[in-house]
Structure 1
Amino acid sequence: MSNGWQALQRGESVRERRRQLELAHERFVANDLPHSGVVSSLLRPVVLQSWLRSRDRTIDPDAAPLGVALSADELAELRRTHPLSVVLPVVRRLLLQEATESGFIVALGDAAGRLLWVDGDPKLRAQAEDMGFLAGADWSEAAMGTSAPGIALELNHSLQVLGAEHYHRSVHQWSCTAAPVHDPRDGSVIGVIDVTGGDAAAEPHMLPLIEATLAAVEAEMRLVRLRETISQDRPAASRASSRTTQAVMTHPPRLLVLGQDPAVLEHRGQREIVSGRHAEILLALTAAPHGLTGAELAERVYGSRDAEATLRPEIVRLRRWLRDLGVPLELASKPYRLDGVLNVDAHELLTALERGAHRLALAAYDGPVLPASEAPFVDELRLDVDATLRESLLQSAAAAPLFEYAQLWASDDFEVWHTLLTILPPLSPRRARVVTKLEALEASASEAPVQR
């Protein structure tokens, strides 16, 4: 008997099934009414119904994946307080280790479909970020259309989604198995467990594996609730002492310089404007963990080693400013260095590109580093970030992030648009836009005066 929650039946050809799904998706998205019966015959009812809901919600299957729905602070708070936080060891023991070894990703999300934890094969995680599958992203059916975690939450049932059963084209290379997690007290849905990867992530044996993990997770949650009930009989002082052992997650200060003029310092949920010179000094010192002499720092900020006398008063003012704000950074001297952690959005972007997380990097890019600054070190960093982003996207990005980059940041870059033309699928609706743009760029180049 066919199981409508499984993506594949035992012995079924994955290759043939994928071909059928691609055909069904193409006709459904094109609203090919004469072939609507063919579409229905090729799809499981649970998938067809999800596609219909996705279309009713006017979700664009060709749109770029959404960015993260949660800020870093919001994500940290949800992780700290969500009931699934207490069962992470169970998930790691029963599911994560095997998933990582098999080349899968394991994700846990809340009842709203927001991914709180994403772990597993590092290379696969970096690739998944390009389709927006990362901690803090919204993968509810209302946001992303058809996916295993989205339908699992929508219908309160475990299931699998294979390849082009996903509504978003950017997810067609992926498959997944997911199950909703229930509150042991009242049975309400509080979250979702998902395994994502290639075709193997939707093989028949994956569904009982994730359901067994779900059973263990819900059993562990019942034990936790029981312990909490018993602990209520302890003296109030003892309970208070126990609560103080739960450390509140804090984040290092973060300097925002991409497209910022002036720079902004994020600290304890506050945003503080940073003066131009102070931002330049902080940037230079974050790149020199072992410190810089006064002459070296002056050269990086002012362009001259002889500007050390001008630098010293700025150092004094910056040190006082950090102290007055309560920022956990100490500006030490001999040599000048930062004692403490300062995250920088430009450095985070470069790290994302190193991991191949092009979608994440592009979402983080708000423009050149401190565009008004003329400090030599800032000039170097600005060029490095812009060139690395461009080359990384040209060399290895998927069509969707490269198309977004072309529209936002490379409107006159012929090489970017030409590369897009070579990697877009033949039937992509974006090809017309790319061809039109290339023709306009070629016409503009031919009209430009010849330099003699």
Structure 2
Amino acid sequence: MTDTWVALEAGADPVRRRGALRRAYESFTTAGHVEHPVRSVVADSWKRSARAHVSPEGSACVDLTDDALAAYRDGHPLARVMPLFRELMSAYALDGEHLVAVCDAHGRLLWVEGHAAARRAAGGMNFVPGARWAESVAGTNAPGTAIAVDRPVQVFAAEHFQRPVHAWTCAAAPVHDPGTGRLLGAVDITGGDRLAHPHSLAFVGAVARAAESQLALLAPPPGAGCSQLSALGRDEALLLTAGRKIPLSRRHSEILTLLAHRPEGVTGDELLVELYEDESVPPVTLRAELFRLRGLLGPELLRSRPYRLAGTVDTDFDTVARLLASGAVTSAMNAYAGPLLPGSQAPAVVRIRRRLADQLRAALVARGDPGLLADWAYSPWGEEDLPVWRAL
């Protein structure tokens, strides 16, 4: 097989492959052995599913229903491109007796549409709106695994980790915010063996790219002099300013995070203390970093005496804090892409990171919503968070 992301190469016999995969699946679930013809992307996913204690006999759980589901998906960024998904995929799904599904970044299905008979059959395995199909809960499956590996993937028959899904084939691709690169969710097409073809994976990938292009067109233009800093869930921040996307080094990410958090400005001595654990770092080291950063951003954005950012800089971490302050816990959780600069040990960044995580955790526990608590608990940063697990 030339492409590990494609489940069945053109011309392969699906019946023979299905049988071989069934035998390999039984070997893995009984003895933990990965055998031919299991692809590496599937083997890795099986191992993650096993580590997460996903039951091979289980099925996805439903987190949201009725009014709660309607309110959540109406406020989700992908709601704006649902008309595009329907235009590009509905006829294909109906003609082929397939389903079109869209999930959020936590693997929760927001929309499941398509052929009526396929919807009824999929309901038997809880492939329904409001159900959580994250890999950590439902095991290997196209939307959940596409989110886990952040790229388009196809899953065929017994490649699925849970037995109730073995009759199905699915292909999914992640969808990102075109401005910040933040993962928003995934678009998926699910059906029978006819989807086990390279074309279906290429198709769903093209639909995801079209959605990102549409989101870019729908995005409101930034205000004059307004910049955007994305630093949640990434070790190196991304700055959007004056129509430019500027990837930042780790140290520059820390500097901009602190300056955005302190719009009134800070002195060089304050910056030195807030950025470096080692008190012996000489001031010239910081001045050199600031000189390089000013060359990258331009003097019109980075000012001195005191060091500060000119104009307005909106940050994703301040957005989460504002949402929490207003009581919008669901929106805050949806906007939280992960810990602030998780690899940073800069004292100021560590304080801001811990404070934001503590505030969000406290709000989730106080709200007591099982779906939101599960979003946190099954995330990479929440898997060992005992207070949240106790609240579930």
Q: Which bracket does the TM-score occupy, shorter chain normalised?
A: 0.5 to 0.7
Q: Does 1:197 align with 2:191?
A: yes
Q: Which residue of 2 aligns with 1:185?
A: 179
Please provide the CA RMSD for this pair: 1.7
- The 3 A distance-change label for structure 1 pair 20 and 221 is same
Letter in 1 for 2:142: A
Pick one of 52, 57, 63 that aligns with 2:52.
57
Q: Report how many aligned residue pairs link the two structures.
A: 225
Following TM superposition, by how much is the alpha carbon of 1:89 offset from its aligned partner in structure 2, in angstroms?
A: 1.1
Q: Which residue of 2 aligns with 1:3?
A: 3
Residue-by-residue CA offset, 1:239-269 (whole Å, 9 max, x unaligned): xxxxxxxxxxxxxxxxxxxxxxxxxxxxxxx
Distance in 2, matches of 1:100 and 1:56, equals: 37
Q: Give the share of equivalent positions with the same residue, in percent.
A: 40
Following TM superposition, by how much is the alpha carbon of 1:74 offset from its aligned partner in structure 2, in angstroms?
A: 2.0
Q: Equivalent residues in 2 for 1:266-281 (5 A)?
A: none
Residue-by-residue CA offset, 1:288-307 (whole Å, 9 max, x unaligned): xxxxxxxxxxxxxxxxxxxx
Following TM superposition, by how much is the alpha carbon of 1:228 offset from its aligned partner in structure 2, in angstroms?
A: 7.7
Q: Which residue of 2 aligns with 1:26?
A: 26
Following TM superposition, by how much is the alpha carbon of 1:227 offset from its aligned partner in structure 2, in angstroms?
A: 5.7
Aligned 8 A contact 2:27 2:35 in 1: no
**Which structure's residues are more often helix, by fraction?**
1
- The 3 A distance-change label for structure 1 pair 161 and 86 is same
Distance in 2, matches of 1:57 and 1:212, equals: 31
Q: Can you give the 5+ residue segments of structure 1 that lack an aligned partner in the other structure? A: 233-452
Residue-by-residue CA offset, 1:24-43 (whole Å, 9 max, x unaligned): 011111116xxx3xx33321
Q: Which residue of 2 aligns with 1:215?
A: 209
Residue-by-residue CA offset, 1:388-443 (whole Å, 9 max, x unaligned): xxxxxxxxxxxxxxxxxxxxxxxxxxxxxxxxxxxxxxxxxxxxxxxxxxxxxxxx
Pick one of 69, 72, 83 that aligns with 2:66.
72
Distance in 2, matches of 1:73 and 1:92, equals: 22
Aligned 8 A contact 2:73 2:79 in 1: yes
Paired residue secondary structure (2:69): helix
Distance in 2, matches of 1:5 and 1:67, equals: 27
Distance in 1, matches of 2:160 and 2:153, equals: 13
Q: Does 1:116 align with 2:110?
A: yes
Following TM superposition, by how much is the alpha carbon of 1:73 offset from its aligned partner in structure 2, in angstroms?
A: 2.3
Paired residue secondary structure (2:170): strand
Following TM superposition, by how much is the alpha carbon of 1:115 offset from its aligned partner in structure 2, in angstroms?
A: 0.3
Q: Which residue of 1 aligns with 2:39?
A: 44
Aligned 8 A contact 2:175 2:185 in 1: yes
Letter in 2 for 1:45: S
Letter in 1 for 2:146: A
Q: Which residue of 1 aligns with 2:219?
A: 225
Distance in 1, matches of 2:25 and 2:83, equals: 39
Distance in 1, matches of 2:112 and 2:17, equals: 28
Structure 1 or 2, whichever has the larger Rg, is 1
Distance in 2, matches of 1:87 and 1:204, equals: 24
Letter in 2 for 1:223: L
- The 3 A distance-change label for structure 1 pair 228 and 213 is farther
Distance in 2, matches of 1:79 and 1:227, equals: 24
Distance in 1, matches of 2:77 and 2:71, equals: 12
Following TM superposition, by how much is the alpha carbon of 1:229 offset from its aligned partner in structure 2, in angstroms?
A: 6.1
Distance in 2, matches of 1:164 and 1:66, equals: 16
Q: Equivalent residues in 2 for 1:143-162 (5 A)?
A: 143-162=137-156
Distance in 2, matches of 1:60 and 1:145, equals: 8
Distance in 2, matches of 1:72 and 1:17, equals: 40
Q: Which residue of 1 aligns with 2:81?
A: 87
Distance in 2, matches of 1:78 and 1:155, equals: 25
Q: Which residue of 1 aligns with 2:98?
A: 104
Letter in 2 for 1:44: R
Q: Can you give the 5+ residue segments of structure 2 that lack an aligned partner in the other structure? A: 227-392
Paired residue secondary structure (2:82): helix
Distance in 2, matches of 1:71 and 1:212, equals: 30
Letter in 2 for 1:58: H
Aligned 8 A contact 2:60 2:133 in 1: no
Distance in 2, matches of 1:168 and 1:30, equals: 14
Letter in 1 for 2:22: E
Aligned 8 A contact 2:60 2:127 in 1: no
